[in-house]
Amino acid sequence: MNVDLTTSPVEALKSLVIGIYEEGELTPTAKKIDKLTHGYLSNIIEKNMFQAKLGQTHFLFYPAETKIECLLLVGCGKPDTLSATGFRKIIIQAIKAIMTVKIKQFTFCLAEIEVKGRSLPWKVKQCVETVYQGVYQFDLFKTEKEPIYLKDISIHLAQNKQFDACKEALHQGIAISNGVILTKNLANTPSNICTPAFIAEQAKALAKQHEQISIHILEEKDMEKLGMGALLAVSQGSAQEAKFICLEYKNAKKSQAPIALIGKGITFDTGGNSLKSPDNMVGMKYDMCGAATVLGTFHAIAELKLSVNAVGIIAAVENMPGGTAYKPEDILTSLSGQTIEVISTDAEGRLVLADALTYCERYQPETVIDIATLTGAVVVALGTHATGMVSNYPPLANALLKAGEESHDRVWELPLWDEYQEQIKSPFADMANTGGRAAGSITAGCFLSRFAKKFHWAHLDVAGTAAMMMGTSERMATGRPVPLLVQYFLDQGK
């Protein structure tokens, strides 16, 4: 698909979508069309034939006195109250409607809608990302694919003012969307195909595609030599070899310490010998969304050629039960030397991340952000709207909160108070890998914090945001938190 900006006069457009407010107020483009058609739109609205409820859509075809073939009305709700979420809803509903008609090109006259506290370039960028989100399909494994007729989308700008800033926003929106698509495709691929070796191949392909990205991969024998006892324990029940993938993106001064991203890449999480129930196991192909996010974010920052140095670490492992698998009460020695008593083999994410965090020290990073579908508890706490965060460095937490607001890919901070550390005491080892039901997301964060003492660190728990798992027929990866992380890098590159 192709997305671009246009400043063509409304009179010249053939297929377009325009916004209408609930109380009958027309957006600027709607006003123009109303004039051209001698009150066609205001007549429809006066008679309450179209109520303009938020996200409501209605097609009008070949309105008289115009060159228009297809005019889509979309309701914008009450004027002056539209939120970022409302704006995205309008675009999603418009795309849904457009996908039902066999039209190749469509112009979006929606950047002119007021969104509280947001600029025109922001609206352009969100419009691009939401359009890509709306047309996304994952039909690789469907024998009958639904055709997509829509090929070209233009975002209409009523004036030339801020054109350059909008062009930049367009460019960013496209790069972020390409990153999001990469992340979604990898995440949606099932674990019989998306194995640790498969993720390693995808990472290699990404490094090949971008000159600034280099890669090296550790095999299990390398990890044994290093002493990655925590990661290897998780892998030992699986027929798939673990892969430890290290990417480097270099596009700033050598002296500039890198920002490191670490992704949890459990290609399937059965729970291991602490086996999950069948209901809880569906959706666990998504347990590598952190890894997919690292790749998607690297793709986007490379496409944008951001002047930053970044490291991407992916711990790709399958968590299986069985005779060779690790067990509750096993004691592991991590790469850091700290020992861990396994209480649940289903708390495997923190084990692989512990060794990845320690390994990361060799890059002397300024900042480390790990991304992981780590706990069911974060879904209980925050649902699917916000990513849970803990951090050992308030300025980093604040930067991520801000990037979340800007990208509308939001995070919420949980406390990492010392009191919670008590819950992961073990009578036999330096720590236990679980801390009971209470504050499960925080105690997981406490566990990780013990391996993140040498740098500024934030942990993003994306169990509720990286994929939609409500109901078996509605599962789908979201590509989050790629927009958040790209925004964070954009802010750092400034």
Which residues have a catalytic role annotated? 276, 350
Q: Does 220 bind Zn ion (CB under 5 A)?
A: no
Report H helices in 214-286: 220-226, 229-235, 278-281
Q: How far is CA 471 from CA 282, 283, 288, 476, in A?
A: 10, 10, 20, 10
Q: How far is the CB of 229 from ligand BES (least distance, A)?
A: 18
Q: How far is the CB of 46 from Zn ion (least distance, A)?
A: 56
- 347 contacts ligand BES (rule: CB under 6 A): yes
One character per residue 333-372, x = contact with Zn ion (rule: CB under 5 A): ----------------x-----------------------
Residues 432-471, mask of contacts with Zn ion (x by CB under 5 A): ----------------------------------------
Q: Does 375 bind ligand BES (CB under 6 A)?
A: yes
Q: What whole-number distance in Å separates Cα of residue 378 and Cα of residue 219?
A: 32
Interhelix angle 196-209/163-188, rounded to 10 degrees, is: 150
Question: To the nearest whole angstrom, how small is the minimum distance from the Cβ of residue 85 to ligand BES?
Answer: 23
Q: Using CB atoms within 10 A of its CB, is residue 413 exposed (0-12), middle (13-18) or buried (19+)?
A: middle
Q: Which stretch binds ligand BES (CB under 6 A): 243-251, 300-308, 347-355, 407-415?
A: 347-355
Distances in Å between the Cα of 350 and the Cα atoms of 11, 179, 321, 347, 379 are 58, 25, 17, 6, 17
Contacts of residue 208, defined as CB under 8 A and 6 or more positions apart, other chains included, come to: none
Q: Is 290 in the site for Zn ion (CB under 5 A)?
A: no
Q: What is the DSSP string of 163-229?
A: HHHHHHHHHHHHHHHHHHHHHHHHHHS-TTTS-HHHHHHHHHHHHHH-TTEEEEEE-HHHHHHHT-H
Contact 346, 272 (CB under 8 A): yes
Q: Identify which of residues 79 and 328 has a Cβ nearer to Zn ion in the complex.
A: 328
Among residues 287 and 341, whose Cβ is nearest to ligand BES? 287
The rounded distance, in Å, linking the Cα atoms of 313 and 263 is 6
434 binds, among ligand BES, Mn ion, Zn ion, none (CB under 5 to 8 A by kind): ligand BES
Site for ligand BES in 458-487 (CB under 6 A): 463
SS3 34: helix
The single residue among 348, 355, 370, 406 that binds ligand BES, judged by CB under 6 A, is: 348
Binding mask 216-255 for ligand BES (x = CB under 6 A): ----------------------------------------
Secondary element (H or E) of residue 324: none
155 CB contacts (<8 Å, ≥6 apart)? 3, 4, 5, 6, 107, 108, 110, 111, 124, 127, 128, 166, 170
Name which of residues 31 to 90 contact ligand BES (CB under 6 A). none
C-alpha span between 383 and 34 (Å, rounded): 43
CB nearer to ligand BES: pick between 284 and 295: 284
Torsional class of 344: left (φ above 0), alpha (ψ -120 to 50), beta (otherwise):
beta
CB of 283 to ligand BES, least distance (A): 6
Q: Which of residues 385-444 bind ligand BES (CB under 6 A)?
A: 434, 440
In the bound state with ligand BES, the residue whose beta carbon lies nearer, of 34 and 269, is 269
Q: Which residues ranging from 259 to 298 are in contact with ligand BES (CB under 6 A)?
A: 269, 283, 287
Cα–Cα distance, 299 to 318 (Å, whole number): 24
- The residue ranges of DSSP E strands in 325-464, in sequence order, are 331-333, 339-341, 367-372, 387-391, 411-413, 431-432, 456-461
Shortest distance, CB of residue 4 to ligand BES, whole angstroms?
Answer: 37
Interacting partner of 270 out of Zn ion, Mn ion, ligand BES, none (Cβ under 5 to 8 A depending on kind): none
CA–CA separation, 373 and 466 (whole Å): 8
Q: How far is the CB of 238 from Mn ion (least distance, A)?
A: 13
- Which entry of Mn ion, Zn ion, ligand BES, none binds 382, CB below 5 to 8 A by partner kind? none
Per-position DSSP letters for 38-94, written without gaps between them: TSHHHHHHHTTS----TT-EEEEES-TTS--SEEEEEE--STT---HHHHHHHHHHH
Torsion sign, CA atoms 392, 398, 404, 410: positive
Answer for the pair 388, 412: CB distance below 8 angstroms, yes or no. yes
Q: Which does 376 bind (CB under 5 to 8 A by kind): ligand BES, Mn ion, Zn ion, none?
A: ligand BES
Site string (260-289) toward Mn ion, x via CB under 5 A: ---------x--------------------
Chain residue at closest Cβ approach to Zn ion: 269
Binding to Mn ion in span 319-358, by CB under 5 A: 346
Contacts with ligand BES, 177-216, as mask; x by CB under 6 A: ----------------------------------------
258 near 248, Cβ under 8 Å? yes
Nearer to Mn ion, 34 or 346 (CB): 346
Residue count, binding to Mn ion (CB under 5 A): 2
Question: Is the CB of 348 or the CB of 355 nearer to ligand BES?
Answer: 348
Among 34, 129, 220, 287, binds Zn ion (CB under 5 A): 287
Binding region for Zn ion (CB under 5 A) = 266, 269, 287, 349
Q: Which residues of this protein are in contact with ligand BES, per CB under 6 A?
A: 269, 283, 287, 344, 346-349, 373-377, 379, 434, 440, 463
The residue ranges that bind Mn ion (CB under 5 A) are 269, 346
